[in-house]
Chains A and B, each alone.
Chain A
Amino acid sequence: MSSPDTAQPRAADAAGPAPPLGPGPAASGGRLVWRPRGTDAVQTTASLAALVLMILVFSVLDAQFRSWDNVVAVVDAAAVLAVVTVGLTFVLLLGAIDLSVEGVIGACALTVALLVANSRTGLDLGVLGVAATVALGAAFGLLSGVLSTRLRIPSFLTTLGVYAIGLGVATILFSGERPIVEDPWLGDWASSRFLGFTIVSWVAAGAILVGWLIQRYTRVGRYAYAIGGAEDIARLSGVPVARYKTAAFAVAGAFYGLGAVMATSQLGSGVVQAGSGLNFSAIAAAVIGGTLLVGGRGGVLQSMIGVLVLTVLQNGLILAGVSPYAQQAVQGVIVVVAVAAATWPVRHRLGVVK
């Protein structure tokens, strides 16, 4: 070899093995600062810091906030949002977005209310009804996924369409009369408690665990990262991208279905608007937690931090006696300030931020 390449310290034992290299700054040379390197990690740390700060401030401001009862209240209030956000996380990991949440939840809420013992139909399917509802949610997700991948159009619009379709299905199922849930088992989800927390909260905890396992140990989860990280490369490597994208949407839908069951048990009847506001909150929670919209970053657990940030903030503002007229403005400012403050010291090391 006659042209010495940029020289190397170990030119002598060139053919020998390179020293072991783990991740870390030393290995990251050669890249410019605004590459999205670890942006999600910073975001997660930032929101974790913001969460801790918020908890501290509210604890000082209000004794009620520190009470065990309030902890339970926060957890109960976070349950449905958490489950929905777990589902949404899979879609965000793909780099896609899902706007169908409220429609799917509406349709599923009516479905579960009509399938278990209720005031309108003679059915009493119990667990089966719940399972069928989760399956319906998955089917809606499947629809979003199939439409996005087969027609090759942005998920923003397919899911907007599926939202409308879900809403339509919910309206048809509703047909003017709200089915009141009379199934004591489902009713118990919201009212009976185990170790202080409602069953709904435990279901949520289980769902988060399942979500994390899916993310960590299944193809759907791992490929969601691959697709979100670099879809074209995943395709080049022989990953059946369309299939796993669709699967991720379906998984998300199943979680929305479960969320609808939980909400229905809390509300006591089949409500078309059971999911109102959830879509936006779930996206916000995920992004705040570090599951960024660019895809492949963050994950279920990170998103949960975002869920807690939002829930604690809402709870804390009420307890701190902030006027309902001002709450909205205060909440928006706090989210931005908290995230900005927490990222501030490291802002120059962040990648391209969109």
Chain B
Amino acid sequence: MSDPVLSVEGLTKRYPGVTALDGMSFEVRPHEVVGLIGENGAGKSTLLKSLVGLVTPDAGTIRVRGEAVRLRGVAHAGSVGIGMVFQEQSLVPNLTVAENILLGAERSAVRGGIYRWRAMKTLAQEQLDKIGSRIDPGARTDTLTFAQRQMVEVAKVLTIEERITGEPVVLLDEPTSVLERDEIATLFAQIERLRRRASVVFVSHRLDEVLEVSDRVYVLRNGQVVAEVDPSAVDATDLHHLLIGRESGGSHYHDEAQRECDGAPVRLRVENLSTAGCTKVSFEVRAGEVVGVAGVQGSGREDVCRALFGAIRSSGGRVTLDDQPFRLGSPRSAVRSGVGYVPSERRTDGIIPPMSVAENLSMAHVGEVCSGPVLQVKRERGLVDHWVRRLGIKTPSPDTAIGTLSGGNQQKVVLARWMIDDDLRLLILDHPTRGLDVGAKSDVYALIRDLAAAGCAVLLLSDTLEEMIALSHRVVVMKDGEVVTTVETPKGAKPDPVVILEEMV
């Protein structure tokens, strides 16, 4: 075996109340794709961030090609050949794609301090070409979709290839969680291409993906490496087991927990709903029913959900909730009628990062913890403790800023926010498991089923069709802003995803 390009020994990072990295050791060899998996909060991101100098470890050494380095920041890490792909938020929204790709390393695009726009676009195009993307380098970044921005991120990190002489290490932190299928395929093709010139560290919660691309997989738990596995020797179920330390039993769809709701009254009836992105959408959801909405990007399914919650304006249609006319006004009025919404962009739309877990949890139904206008801090504390225990939310204390929790725990808080309402009638879930680990995912699944069992109607948009089919009683398929069909997905007779896929495209 050749010498590792990058190795880490005894890396430790403590935060108040948590040890994010606990004497972590691992290595990356040349031309290798290393997979990192672990539960939410296992320390994956912290590890990657310390490898690009964003987190200063409390102890341990990082060696690049045998030499110990103290990384001072992203620019410094780049100069020794380590680059990282962050999530879409690490692009500057008001700049062009080209500027973003070359930001801070414009090279020949800036001569004598003067921008040469044409050279800029050419250079950026070269990077985009590397990943076969045809995004216009002159487009403003905030006009791109999630997935496109992710591609730009990858193109951007590839610029370090040109900056160093040796082989770079590219760190990818959950690059696929917001990508669509063909984009993932493009990315994987790119990783294959990269492998010839670089080493890659790849983090994902989708175990099959990890198995597909990695040469070696490290399993992390509580800031330590608990296993190093050879992907060719294991399957996703083994990994799952290693990850959460318990058996994942039951059928592929775990649908035995699903409850029938045939006789239940219709809770939500949508007739001819139109918005900027959808036209004349009609469907209904019964109490206790989970209805999935499937569709490709641009099918308008997100519009439907947001319009129902009053988050965007609708241009027509009639909606009733429990046979009462339901005015699509503002999120506030929706909440007051017993509707909840879990947004897909958790960090910006779901939580208020600097505020405490308790405040985030009680915010939508603060009335529950008030006597008249006065907040009852004790009662709130009791309520929050109850839900933290009930959902197994891992937080040092209810007063911890929610922004410091791991994604899964943040998402549980957001779900709890709606669950504290005993009269919750309809919950709209927009990609509720995005970025969650398998353990957290099954927790969320269980919560969704509990909610439905308690009589709440659930409208679900999901990252994967399988997930949607598993959780739903019925799937409404949308295409080009209209409902094309409805597929029944009853317990025990779940259809093949391909059935729905064909309707979508």
A and B touch in the complex (CB under 8 A): yes
A interface, CB within 8 angstroms of B: 1-11, 13-24, 26-30, 32-33, 35, 37, 216-219, 222, 225-226, 228-230, 233-239, 296-297, 348
Closest beta carbon of chain B to A213's beta carbon, Å? 9
CB-defined contacts of A4 to chain B, threshold 8 Å: 181, 464-466, 497, 501
**Interface pair A11/B182, CB less than 8 Å apart:** yes
**Interface pair B136/A21, CB less than 8 Å apart:** yes
Tell me the bound Cα distance from A224 to B136 in angstroms.
23
**Interface pair B186/A14, CB less than 8 Å apart:** yes
Tell me the bound Cα distance from A91 to B146 in angstroms.
30
**Interface pair A222/B115, CB less than 8 Å apart:** yes
User: B447-463, CB under 8 A of A: which get 1 and which 0?
Assistant: 00000000000000011
**Interface pair B313/A29, CB less than 8 Å apart:** no
Interface residues of B in 455-505 (CB under 8 A from A): 462-466, 497, 500-501, 504-505
**Interface pair A233/B90, CB less than 8 Å apart:** yes
B-side interface residues, number (CB < 8 Å): 78
Closest beta carbon of chain A to B293's beta carbon, Å? 11
Say yes or no: is B122 at the interface (Cβ < 8 Å to chain A): no
**Interface pair A30/B145, CB less than 8 Å apart:** yes
CB-defined contacts of B349 to chain A, threshold 8 Å: 32
Tell me the bound Cα distance from A315 to B460 in angstroms.
59
Closest beta carbon of chain A to B177's beta carbon, Å? 10
**Interface pair B298/A229, CB less than 8 Å apart:** no
CB-defined contacts of A230 to chain B, threshold 8 Å: 91-93
Say yes or no: is B212 at the interface (Cβ < 8 Å to chain A): yes
**Interface pair A239/B103, CB less than 8 Å apart:** yes
With A3-B208, A17-B132, A237-B104 given, is the CB distance from A26 to B497 under 8 Å? no
- Point out the residue from B99, B139, B296, B345 that lies within 8 Å of A9, measured CB to CB: B296
CB-defined contacts of B296 to chain A, threshold 8 Å: 6-9
**Interface pair B302/A29, CB less than 8 Å apart:** yes
9 smallest CB-CB distances across A and B, nearest first, come from A238-B75, A238-B104, A23-B143, A14-B182, A14-B185, A237-B104, A229-B94, A237-B103, A5-B181
User: B112-146, CB under 8 A of A: which get 1 and which 0?
Assistant: 01110000000000000000111110111011111
CB-defined contacts of A3 to chain B, threshold 8 Å: 206, 208, 464, 466
CB-defined contacts of B95 to chain A, threshold 8 Å: 222, 225-226, 229
**Interface pair B181/A238, CB less than 8 Å apart:** no
**Interface pair A8/B277, CB less than 8 Å apart:** no
Nearest B-chain residue to A295, judged by Cβ: B94
With A218-B114, A237-B74 given, is the CB distance from A7 to B94 under 8 Å? no
Say yes or no: is B297 at the interface (Cβ < 8 Å to chain A): yes
**Interface pair A225/B302, CB less than 8 Å apart:** no
Interface residues of B in 49-79 (CB under 8 A from A): 54, 73-75, 78
CB-defined contacts of A37 to chain B, threshold 8 Å: 142-143
Closest beta carbon of chain A to B493's beta carbon, Å? 19
Tell me the bound Cα distance from A24 to B296 in angstroms.
19
CB-defined contacts of A30 to chain B, threshold 8 Å: 145-146, 297, 302, 344
A selection of 9 A-B contacts at a CB cut-off of 8 Å is A4-B465, A24-B143, A29-B298, A32-B343, A226-B92, A230-B92, A237-B75, A239-B103, A348-B313
CB-defined contacts of A297 to chain B, threshold 8 Å: 94
**Interface pair A21/B134, CB less than 8 Å apart:** yes
With A4-B181, A14-B186, A217-B115 given, is the CB distance from A29 to B297 under 8 Å? yes
**Interface pair B144/A9, CB less than 8 Å apart:** no
Nearest B-chain residue to A21, judged by Cβ: B135
Nearest A-chain residue to B84, judged by Cβ: A236
CB-defined contacts of B311 to chain A, threshold 8 Å: 32-33
Q: A13-B182, A24-B143 are in contact. List 6 more A-B contacts (CB 8 A).
A: A3-B206, A8-B296, A15-B189, A18-B183, A29-B277, A219-B110
Nearest A-chain residue to B235, judged by Cβ: A2
CB-defined contacts of A226 to chain B, threshold 8 Å: 92, 95, 99, 103
Closest beta carbon of chain A to B157's beta carbon, Å? 10
CB-defined contacts of B295 to chain A, threshold 8 Å: 6
Tell me the bound Cα distance from A218 to B114 in angstroms.
5
- Point out the residue from A10, A33, A236 that lies within 8 Å of B74, measured CB to CB: A236
Tell me the bound Cα distance from A225 to B206 in angstroms.
37
Closest beta carbon of chain A to B108's beta carbon, Å? 14
Closest beta carbon of chain A to B226's beta carbon, Å? 24
Tell me the bound Cα distance from A28 to B139 in angstroms.
12
With A7-B465, A26-B298, A29-B297 given, is the CB distance from A216 to B115 under 8 Å? yes
**Interface pair A27/B148, CB less than 8 Å apart:** yes
Tell me the bound Cα distance from A234 to B462 in angstroms.
32
Closest beta carbon of chain B to A12's beta carbon, Å? 9
User: B316-346, CB under 8 A of A: which get 1 and which 0?
Assistant: 0000000000000000000000000001110
Nearest B-chain residue to A221, judged by Cβ: B115
**Interface pair A16/B132, CB less than 8 Å apart:** yes
**Interface pair A234/B189, CB less than 8 Å apart:** no
CB-defined contacts of B94 to chain A, threshold 8 Å: 225, 228-229, 296-297
Say yes or no: is B312 at the interface (Cβ < 8 Å to chain A): yes
Residue among A14, A18, A228, A239 facing the most chain B CB atoms (10 A cut-off): A18
Tell me the bound Cα distance from A147 to B110 in angstroms.
28
CB-defined contacts of A225 to chain B, threshold 8 Å: 92, 94-95
CB-defined contacts of A13 to chain B, threshold 8 Å: 182
Tell me the bound Cα distance from A217 to B116 in angstroms.
7
Closest beta carbon of chain A to B152's beta carbon, Å? 11
**Interface pair A5/B464, CB less than 8 Å apart:** yes
CB-defined contacts of B206 to chain A, threshold 8 Å: 3
Nearest B-chain residue to A213, judged by Cβ: B114
